[in-house]
Structure 1
Amino acid sequence: MLDLTKLARQMQGLSQHLSLEAAASRQRLELAQQHLKNAYNSQQDLVDRQEKWRDRILFANATPIEPLETCIDISVPPKVHTVVATDGSQIAPNHHEIAYCYLLNIGRVVLHYGQNRHPVLDSLPEVFYRQEDLYMSRQWGIRTEEWMSFRRTASEATVLAELACEAKGEAPTLAMVDGSLIYWFLEQLPLDARDRILPPVLEAWKQMRDAQIPLMGYLSAARNIEGMNFLRLLACTHPVPDCLTFCPNQLEKVPCKIFEPLRDTALWSTQLQPGQRGPLWRSNARILELYGEQTIYFCYVHVGTEIARIEVPQWVAENTAMFDQALGLMLGQVQKGYGYPVAIAEAHNQAVVRGGDKARFFALLERQMIKAGLRNVGTSYKEARKRGSIA
Structure 2
Amino acid sequence: MPYEASDVLSQIRKDAAQARALLNEQRGALELAAELYQRACERLADWSEIVRSKQGNKYRLYANPLVNSHSVALDYPSSPSLPAVGYCVVATDSSFIEPDKHRGAFCHLINVGRVMIKYGDPQAAVLEARPFHRPDYLNDIEERYVGFGRALQAECTAKEIEHLLDLAVMHRADIAFFDGPLNQTVLLLENAPVISRRVKENLKVYYEYLRAFETVLGGSGIPVVGYNSRTNSDLVMRSLRKAVEAGLFSAAVRNDPRVPMFSYLDDGDLFSYVLAPGVRSITFQPWEAKKSADKAADESEGISSGLHEYEVDIRVFYLNVGGSAERVDVPVWCLPQLDRIHQLLLSQCTLGDDFPAALSLADKQAVLTRGEDRETYYTLLEMEDLLRPVSYKARSKREAGRNI
| TM-score range normalised by the length of the shorter chain | 0.7 to 0.9
Aligned to 1:216, what secondary structure does the other structure show?
strand
1:134 and 1:128 map into 2 onto residues whose CA distance is 14
Deviations 1:323-366 (A, max 9, x none): 22122111111111112111111111111111211111112222
Query: Counterpart in 2 of 1:281?
Result: 284
Query: Counterpart in 2 of 1:387?
Result: 398
Deviations 1:239-271 (A, max 9, x none): 9xxxxxxxxxxxxxxx97551111112222232
Query: Counterpart in 2 of 1:82?
Result: 88
Indicate whether 1:116 and 2:150 are aligned. no
Per the alignment, do residues 307 and 15 of structure 1 end up closer, same or farther by CA in structure 2, a change over 3 Å counting?
same
Deviates more, 1:322-331 or 1:112-121: 112-121
- The within-5 A match list for 1:20-59 is 20-54=21-55, 58=59
1:8 and 1:314 map into 2 onto residues whose CA distance is 50
CA contact (8 A) 1:35 1:234 kept: no
2:271 and 2:68 map into 1 onto residues whose CA distance is 14
**Alignment partner for residue 269 of structure 1, among 261, 269, 272?**
272
- Give, as a single letter, the amino acid of the residue that structure 2 aligns with 1:263: D
Query: Counterpart in 1 of 2:384?
Result: 368
2:208 and 2:236 map into 1 onto residues whose CA distance is 29
- Give, as a single letter, the amino acid of the residue that structure 1 aligns with 2:86: V
Per the alignment, do residues 377 and 130 of structure 1 end up closer, same or farther by CA in structure 2, a change over 3 Å counting?
closer
1:149 and 1:17 map into 2 onto residues whose CA distance is 38
Aligned to 2:128, what secondary structure does the other structure show?
strand
CA contact (8 A) 2:113 2:130 kept: yes
Per the alignment, do residues 29 and 280 of structure 1 end up closer, same or farther by CA in structure 2, a change over 3 Å counting?
same
CA contact (8 A) 2:26 2:261 kept: no
Query: Counterpart in 2 of 1:11?
Result: 12
**Alignment partner for residue 350 of structure 2, among 314, 335, 338?**
335
1:130 and 1:142 map into 2 onto residues whose CA distance is 13
Task: Compute the displacement of 1:87 (Å).
Answer: 0.7
- The within-5 A match list for 1:96-107 is 96-107=102-113
2:104 and 2:146 map into 1 onto residues whose CA distance is 23
Deviates more, 1:13-22 or 1:153-162: 13-22
Aligned to 1:284, what secondary structure does the other structure show?
strand
Query: Counterpart in 1 of 2:298?
Result: none
CA contact (8 A) 2:91 2:362 kept: yes
**Alignment partner for residue 318 of structure 2, among 297, 300, 319?**
300
Per the alignment, do residues 281 and 238 of structure 1 end up closer, same or farther by CA in structure 2, a change over 3 Å counting?
closer
1:8 and 1:128 map into 2 onto residues whose CA distance is 45
Task: Compute the displacement of 1:25 (Å).
Answer: 0.6
CA contact (8 A) 1:96 1:379 kept: yes
CA contact (8 A) 2:112 2:160 kept: yes
Deviates more, 1:55-64 or 1:327-336: 55-64
Deviates more, 1:129-138 or 1:44-53: 129-138
- The within-5 A match list for 1:227-246 is 227-236=236-245
Query: Counterpart in 1 of 2:189?
Result: 188
2:69 and 2:171 map into 1 onto residues whose CA distance is 37
1:356 and 1:84 map into 2 onto residues whose CA distance is 28
Deviates more, 1:118-127 or 1:13-22: 13-22
CA contact (8 A) 2:51 2:243 kept: no
1:165 and 1:134 map into 2 onto residues whose CA distance is 37
- Give, as a single letter, the amino acid of the residue that structure 2 aligns with 1:192: R
Q: What 5-or-longer segments of structure 2 have no aligned partner? A: 249-257, 290-303
Query: Counterpart in 2 of 1:207?
Result: 212
CA contact (8 A) 2:50 2:246 kept: no
- Give, as a single letter, the amino acid of the residue that structure 2 aligns with 1:221: R
Deviations 1:212-253 (A, max 9, x none): 1111111111111111111122211589xxxxxxxxxxxxxx
Indicate whether 1:357 and 2:373 are aligned. yes
1:228 and 1:158 map into 2 onto residues whose CA distance is 33
Deviations 1:95-146 (A, max 9, x none): 12243111111111111112435421111111111545565636xx833233
Equivalent pairs counted in the alignment come to 363
Query: Counterpart in 2 of 1:249?
Result: none
Query: Counterpart in 1 of 2:339?
Result: 324
CA contact (8 A) 1:59 1:229 kept: no
- Give, as a single letter, the amino acid of the residue that structure 2 aligns with 1:349: K
Deviates more, 1:128-137 or 1:203-212: 128-137
CA contact (8 A) 1:100 1:129 kept: yes
Task: Compute the displacement of 1:73 (Å).
Answer: 2.4
1:130 and 1:219 map into 2 onto residues whose CA distance is 31
2:360 and 2:130 map into 1 onto residues whose CA distance is 17
Per the alignment, do residues 365 and 186 of structure 1 end up closer, same or farther by CA in structure 2, a change over 3 Å counting?
closer
1:173 and 1:300 map into 2 onto residues whose CA distance is 21
- Give, as a single letter, the amino acid of the residue that structure 2 aligns with 1:276: V
CA contact (8 A) 2:165 2:213 kept: yes
Query: Counterpart in 2 of 1:224?
Result: 233
CA contact (8 A) 2:86 2:120 kept: yes
1:160 and 1:69 map into 2 onto residues whose CA distance is 30
Task: Compute the displacement of 1:22 (Å).
Answer: 1.4
1:351 and 1:120 map into 2 onto residues whose CA distance is 13
Per the alignment, do residues 273 and 57 of structure 1 end up closer, same or farther by CA in structure 2, a change over 3 Å counting?
same
CA contact (8 A) 1:233 1:256 kept: no
2:88 and 2:352 map into 1 onto residues whose CA distance is 15
Q: What 5-or-longer segments of structure 1 have no aligned partner? A: 240-254
- Give, as a single letter, the amino acid of the residue that structure 2 aligns with 1:289: H
CA contact (8 A) 2:204 2:310 kept: no
1:137 and 1:114 map into 2 onto residues whose CA distance is 49
CA contact (8 A) 2:33 2:262 kept: yes
Identity %: 27
